[in-house]
A and B are shown apart, each in its own frame.
Chain A
Amino acid sequence: MATFVPFKTFLDTAFWREVNKKKLHDWKLDESPKEIYSQLSLYDTKGSECALSLSHDSFTSSSEASNGLSISGGLILYNTRESFKAAATTNSREELMELKATKIWDAVQSRSWLQNPQLLNTFFIIAFADLKKFHYIYKTCVPALIFPKEIQQEIVPLTAYNANESNLFTHHEKASSPVFLLSNVSNEILDLPQLENNNNPDEIIIVIADPCPVSSSAGWLVRNVLAAVAQLHPSWTYCNIISLRSAGSVGFKFSWVSSEGLQSGVPRSSGWEMHYSADLKKYFDPKIMMEESVDLNLKLIKWRLNPDLELERYSNLKVLILGAGTIGCNLARGIVPWGVRHISFVDNSTVSYSNPVRQSLSEFEDARLGRGKAETAVAALQRIFPSVQATAHRLTVPMPGHTIDEKEEEQLQKDIEKLEQLVKDHDVVFLALDSREARWLPTVLACKHRKMAISVAIGFDTYVIIRHGIGSRKDSVSDDSNSEAVPYSQLSCYFCSDVTAPGNSTSDRTLDQQCTVSRPGTSMIVSGLAVELLASVLQYPNPLETPASLDDNTTLLGAAPHQIRGFLNRFQQIHPIVKRFERCVACGDSIADQYQQNGWKFVRDVMNSPKRLEEVTGLDELQDSVDAIDIDFDDDESVVSN
């Protein structure tokens, strides 16, 4: 028995995108069949089915059909899953196929197929498209008449047909005819209608463009040609075929049991493919598309530049940004493209009219309506990237020197608890607050909970980034390495270089001394650098142990400086590495002990009297001892401080 290689539908994403568009804008609820076209390829040698390919251009009849073999068909798109299911039952499908088979049989009976052999080739697809979930189900049928009966095949070498394959191919291309004849007598190429006048099956070879990749069988389209030939010449019990393919045409002799006269009714047919479905939410749901694009972009970085890059260290990272001002906003904009999805903002103030032009996450309306800075930043981030998980916390960070009275103590206790919880719940804390003293408590808390803390601060035309040492000094492993790298646990914090405690820095200052006045580019520069410092640190085998080093082999992304200090007046930048100060007023051991013992009460005391910090750390004694040193200066010698 001869077997014929069936079709398998190959759709692409662009096909479904066209379906989405047409369904929404043109077809709407119209369920009538829509004409579609498939470009068949005579070039495939892979696979075990003939490929019925559909793409975005399948909805317009190709004026360029001369490039190959195109067949037309219909798409029936049902409005509901139920009506699709009803159409997909065995009975409905048989009926539908019979309808199409009747049309083909009409072309056979009327002999119109000789003028237009394309009438023998058709296909149709029943489908349902859920345009909310972008889920598709479909089933394709390429009807083939089961006639004549009991077809046998014999493969015949092309030489036996005296065929010049490349002539045949050229003819097919030029005339764009899917079926034509080759005279076995004159060896000439003949047009298909001449088959009518030919009564000897040995004198003629029927050439059929065949998208079949399997060399031992003929493709599905050959069946209807055999049916048409058998009906045209009822006396024939065999015919010669060349199945024309790019990778090597195949000669066949097909024979069958004589049909003993004309077939009267429409023969039975077959041709339904399997049931398929596709879930394309990832490619059509705009939110998910954006997520996928953001991720793919990062994957491309990984693939192109650094195969070992650990991207999940960004996507799993929880970042706490203290201060949703210029720096906080820009930090967020910088870490989101790295794949960071979890961001929490803490701020206690509202957007003012001077903010939107500097802050990349607020607008005029936010200022006009007096919206909270943290809330505004979250809303903007979610508009920019709906998949981001951002939360806003309106909270005043308790600050040394900002005295409070007794009735505020309850609130203070709550604020400290909340801040401590936030620090605990995140992996990285950015200190982007606008005053020195506001960074004090977060530094203490980050130390206590062994979190990465990065201070980012700007002056008018200067900036500084410091990644604080992790945990307490006691954690640090003995410094036995001879390299210049300093272990993470031994790095200084924002306060280590200070010999006085942070006080209320804004109270006695004129406006230009407050750091909110700065060259506008400064915040973008410093935020970008801070983001990339974090990005580098996260690529160290264990990020919590990333030493400070300017060696560009420190992490996968290069160096991991401790501090970055920039001076825009000279466009200069330095990268000092500074060790921790044991008597530091923020990360010093005695501060940690005090906070451990007295908790919020210690914070309260410090707020009311910053001198308390100097007492605890012994800085006051140090100060006194420095003051006690008596240095004699010559009168004409000037002292330059640096």
Chain B
Amino acid sequence: MLTEQQFREEIKVFVEKMRENKLNWQLKENGKYARESHLETLSDGRNVSADVHILYNSTYQVPTLWFNYFENNGTPIPFDTVVRDILKISESEESDSSIRQRISHYEHPILGVLYYNIHPCNTSNVMKELKTEKGYLISWLSIYGQQINLKMPDFSKLQ
């Protein structure tokens, strides 16, 4: 678990590291959360924008991943398409850390529009089993980011 203070310290270092590794993370609202955006290609060839945020969840005291996908005019991509073309999560995937079991759709606490979110109830269990010597957030994202196809830096290069 992380205190909010720890989260804020970690997220700052995290964004710096990601940027050093040429990943488009940004610190938002004085370090309240971090944001990454990139394009994803759907199976019909269209490019849609992906918006990914890392926010602190004070109930579970862990970071949470919020994300959504939009057409260029701002229309969210339908859930079925997201599952099929972007998340590509197989129906048999049943690991405890799999977002398949934890994905939800809620009003984003800052944006006020619906975003997907990975429910944080299991995060601290998953994190207990991980070595976090590379930093809590990077280890965390290596688990959860992977499941939404987030680009991660080459770990061998990270200090």
Contact = CB atoms under 8 A, between A and B. Distances in A.
B26 A67 contact: yes
Contact of A67 (B27, B79, B114): B27
Interface stretch (B54-62, B101-109, B135-143): B101-109
Contacts of B27: 64, 67
Contacts of A303: 79, 83, 100, 103
Given A293-B105, A300-B103, A304-B103, A14 B114 contact: no
A136 B73 contact: yes
Contact of B112 (A17, A247, A276): A17
A46 B75 contact: no
Contact of B22 (A17, A43, A213): A43
Which bucket holds chain A's interface residue count? 35 or more
Interface of B: 15, 19, 22-28, 30, 37-41, 47, 49, 51, 68, 70-76, 79-80, 83, 91, 100-101, 103-105, 108, 110-114
Main secondary structure of the interface of A (DSSP, over half): mixed
A280 B75 contact: yes
Interface stretch (A53-61, A188-196, A431-439, A568-576): A53-61
A67 B74 contact: no
B38 A41 contact: yes
Contacts of B37: 39, 41, 53, 55
18 contacts: A11-B72, A12-B74, A13-B74, A14-B108, A14-B112, A15-B74, A16-B74, A44-B38, A46-B40, A46-B41, A53-B37, A56-B110, A67-B26, A213-B39, A246-B22, A300-B103, A300-B105, A304-B100
Contacts of A17: 111-113
B46 to A, nearest CB: 10
Contacts of B40: 46
A169 interface: yes
Given A46-B41, A53-B37, A57-B28, A173 B19 contact: yes
A9 B15 contact: no
A14 B49 CA distance: 13
A296 interface: yes
> Nearest 7 CB-CB pairs, A to B?
A278-B73, A43-B24, A46-B39, A11-B74, A14-B111, A67-B26, A246-B22
Contacts of A304: 100-101, 103
Contacts of B30: 64
B72 A276 contact: yes
Contacts of B72: 8-11, 276
B49 A51 contact: yes
Contacts of B23: 43
A13 B113 contact: yes
A47 interface: yes
A299 B49 CA distance: 23
Interface string A501-534: 0000000000000000000000000000000000
B103 A278 contact: no
Contact of B24 (A12, A41, A169, A297): A41
A116 interface: no
A409 interface: no
Nearest to B69: A12
A64 B27 CA distance: 7
A68 interface: yes
Given A46-B41, A57-B28, A304-B100, A293 B75 contact: no
Given A276-B73, A283-B114, A303-B100, A47 B47 contact: yes
A9 B71 CA distance: 10
Contacts of B108: 14
B28 to A, nearest CB: 7
Nearest to A9: B72
A278 B24 contact: no
B39 A279 contact: no
* Of B73, B83, B101, most A-chain CB atoms within 10 Å: B73
A277 interface: yes
Interface string A5-40: 000111111111100000000000000000000010
Contacts of B101: 304
Interface centre among A12, A41, A289, A300 (most CB of B within 10 A): A12
B35 to A, nearest CB: 9
Interface in A275-334: 276-280, 283, 289, 293, 296-297, 299-300, 303-304, 307
